[in-house]
A and B are shown apart, each in its own frame.
Chain A
Amino acid sequence: MTLDRSVGLVFVVVAVLAPLIFSDYWVATLLTQALFLGIVAASLIFLSAYGGMVSLAQVGIYGIAGFALGNLTTNGNTKGLNLGWAEAPGVLVALLIAVLVALLFGALANRSYGIYFLMITLVFSVIANLFFGQVTSVSGFGGISGIPIPDFISRTAHPDRLYLATLAIAGLVYLALRYVARTPFGLTLQGIRDDPVRMSSLGYKVALHRTLAFTFAGFIAAVGGILFVWWNAQIAPSTIGLGATIDVLVIAVIGGLFQLEGAWLGALVFVLLNNYAQDVSFIGDRFHTLIGLVFLVIVLVSPSGLMGLWQRAVAGRPRAERADSAEAAGPAGLKPAG
């Protein structure tokens, strides 16, 4: 077993045993938060690593799923539609709405590349934020409170279960993203990432592939959104504001934009800094300044994030450059198409 896999295994074992090791607050608040933020960041890293698309719309889509669930399952005591549905159909319909919106967004953005793609997806997030802020029939400024959580993962009755459920879903998301990357669809996507013109001339439908990849990543982000509202019981437009959009990008960059594992590593670092930095008197409420400094250092020292640092530490060079490495997963292990 390689060192990478051994360390990965240790992380997984610690994560599974976390309820026995860490305090309730760590498990139910910090680690759970890191896991679902990691899921959202993973959807961004998937698009970036395999599709060459750095999207700022992931938080918008995550919010759409959260608001949809809030509107569908609350029951009269909060803003929004208060439709009072049961949990299961609520989740399904919320995911469906988010995926349809992601499909629409993807279709609109599929011919944009680089900084233009980044900007158009930023617009999507801003639209989502303003929509929920201004349309008072579905939310309004104050957002939706008291969103119910299914009994079997209720935090009051079973403090650890939401964490374990989130961990299991995060694991599934990780495996699904790895799997998709290796399917013909995923390989084509990587070809498009490397040379869209050549892929187009080979007969691949570049725009369609990019749209579908964006939709799939939207589904993953939506799953994160559902977990978020169960964890937080509340969602407001400010939850998906510009700050939150940038936070997810920062998580992805800190973790490493090229490797899925980086999503959860970045999220863990972000959540811990966010929680403990304010206890340090000279930092206090200047969390964004601190995370900005961390971001700058990461970008200067290791553009491929903490995962890149790790790779460099164990192999002397970033994983991205070891294209011939046998176990290198994801884009690094795949030669350019054609």
Chain B
Amino acid sequence: MAALRGTRRTPVAAAVVAGIVALAVAACGESDNSGGSKSTTSAAPANTSTQAPAAAEAPAPQKAVAPRTGTGTPIKVGVLSDCQGAFGSFDNQDLAGVVSAMSQFAGAKPKNPNKPRDGWTGGAIGNHPLKLVGIGCSDDRADTAIRETRRLMEQLDADVMIGPLSGDESIAVANYAKQHPDKTFVDGSAGAQDTTLKVQAPNFFRFNGDGAQWNSGLGDIAYNKLGWRKAAVISDDYSFGWTSAAGFIADFCAAGGQVTKRVFPPLNTTDYSSYAQQLPADVDGTFVAVGGAGLIPFLKAYEQAKGPIDAKKFMGNLFWGTPGQFEQLGPRVAGAYIGSAGTAGDLATPAAQDYANNIIGKWFKKIPPGGAAAPQAPSTFTYGYYVNTWGLIKGLEAVKGDISGGQKKLQQAIGKVVLPAPYGEIKLDENRHAVFTNYDQQLYLKNNKLAVKTVAAIPNVDQTFGGTFSKSTPAPGRKFPGCEKRSLPWLGKAQAVKVDQ
């Protein structure tokens, strides 16, 4: 017996040691994560210097509705945001978009003007109160997004959901939506192309663009303005990275350029030196779609491998201009052209200025951890969640809050919504995906600090890039799209924009 007990202790001891070590590692990971994101974001200046001065005298294009409450059957709303992972520090930006739209267009009120995540009170469509049943917390991973979606839709019994934030999450949620046709989903800010172009769930709507659309126009600038003929591309090795790079490749090749090298570091790479080495020297420029936390390590690795960065030989995607993040790139990239997310915080139109100062800046004083609310209005995340929530509200208004009949009437109504959005009209295509005006931007130095100015508007950008992408083409990936000269609807039609600097 003693022998038996003795041998048995070995697996327990081994398991206990492994378990304790692993949990310690997991716990460290957790604290590293939150600590990291906090310090990163709080180190950033609270205000983006591109923000225009308040345009108080400008007419308010979208008046706020009077506060509303209702006594009918509530419409139960779930929101799915990322409060952990690579985008966890933008959690309050996401919620600021949702709560501001609820307050502006449905008569709700933020619970706490300094903390969007606290949600809203009041708000109604017709006589139906808009009840927030829960805010999901995901971490950019598809399985977490699905788990949280289940909790919101099945445990808390939400009727409609707003979210998620990032690419692969949205593909999973759109597939989930397909299996639950009697519920309605609007995107948050996710930009993977497959979500709408491939999955085509009839009850999933997206009023923001995808990563490829967000880079439309950059290829034109590279070829015709900067004179690039040959370019290299480096992008994160996952859906959003591929989609983002695909936009540049389709645009640049359509204009006549050649992409001679594509490099794909895995997401969450920390040492980019081997990838920087792979970038060829005999190209005119490099398009960088390395996101979030990887961008600065990549630029450093590039400098070590190839010497100082010449900003005219670099282009970046929206991560190069996201408020709260781009400020840390430093003066070395001043002059580089970058994509946006259909956002242009410095646009001089009344609607754009009104959105920052009289909508986001009215309902919220602060969006933690970035500080003052209004300068964060042009963030991809705030804007994405804002337009999607607004689209949902307009759909609900059209059916007077009636979500009976498996929400079919509501879903039809949302498909027809056209938003007079702050940065230009947004309408949906037959896959329930946004067609909108995209903006190209440029980094520059303002008082020795990096700032963003909008340089061109690309109207009516749709998801297909003139047939480059469709349901039957492969999804953007390491090899797709290929590089071919073709005609794009917007090639050579970029419009000048008037900005406040």
Binding site for B on A (CB under 8 A): 24-25, 28-29, 48, 52-54, 56, 76-79, 113-115, 117-118, 122, 133-134, 136, 140-143, 145-146, 155-156, 193-195, 232-236, 238-239, 242-243, 245-246, 249-250, 252-253, 257-258, 275, 278, 284-286, 288-289, 291-292, 295-296, 299, 303-304, 320-321, 323, 331, 335-336
B15 at the interface (CB under 8 A from A): yes
Complex CA gap A304/B150 in Å reads: 33
B30 at the interface (CB under 8 A from A): yes
Extra 9 A-B pairs, beta carbons < 8 Å, given A114-B11, A295-B20: A194-B3, A194-B7, A234-B172, A236-B172, A246-B18, A275-B155, A278-B137, A303-B12, A320-B8
B202-245, CB < 8 A from A:
237-239
- Cβ-closest chain B residue relative to A56: B18
Complex CA gap A202/B477 in Å reads: 57
Q: Which residues of B contact A242 (CB under 8 A)?
A: 22, 25-26
- Cβ-closest chain B residue relative to A289: B27
| Contact B267–A236 (Cβ < 8 Å) | no
Q: Which residues of A contact B20 (CB under 8 A)?
A: 295-296, 299
How near does chain A come to B84, taking the closest CB pair, in angstroms? 6
Complex CA gap A336/B167 in Å reads: 55
Q: Which residues of A contact B8 (CB under 8 A)?
A: 52, 258, 320, 331
Chain B contact residue count (CB 8 A cutoff)? 59
Q: Which residues of A contact B172 (CB under 8 A)?
A: 143, 145, 234, 236
Binding site for A on B (CB under 8 A): 1, 3-5, 7-8, 10-12, 14-20, 22-27, 30, 83-84, 137, 141-144, 146, 150-151, 154-155, 167-168, 171-172, 174-176, 178-181, 192, 194, 198-200, 237-239, 266-267, 475, 477-478
| Contact B30–A236 (Cβ < 8 Å) | no
How near does chain B come to A32, taking the closest CB pair, in angstroms? 11
How near does chain B come to A34, taking the closest CB pair, in angstroms? 14
Q: Which residues of A contact B25 (CB under 8 A)?
A: 242
Q: Which residues of B contact A146 (CB under 8 A)?
A: 175, 178, 199
Q: Which residues of A contact B239 (CB under 8 A)?
A: 79, 140-142
How near does chain A come to B147, taking the closest CB pair, in angstroms? 8
Known contacts A29-B150, A142-B239, A233-B179; decide if A249 and B30 are in contact (CB<8 Å): no
| Contact A249–B142 (Cβ < 8 Å) | no
How near does chain B come to A187, taking the closest CB pair, in angstroms? 14
Known contacts A79-B475, A292-B27; decide if A250 and B143 are in contact (CB<8 Å): no
| Contact A292–B23 (Cβ < 8 Å) | yes
Q: Which residues of A contact B146 (CB under 8 A)?
A: 232-234
- Cβ-closest chain A residue relative to B238: A141
Q: Which residues of B contact A275 (CB under 8 A)?
A: 151, 155
Complex CA gap A298/B259 in Å reads: 58
How near does chain A come to B117, taking the closest CB pair, in angstroms? 11
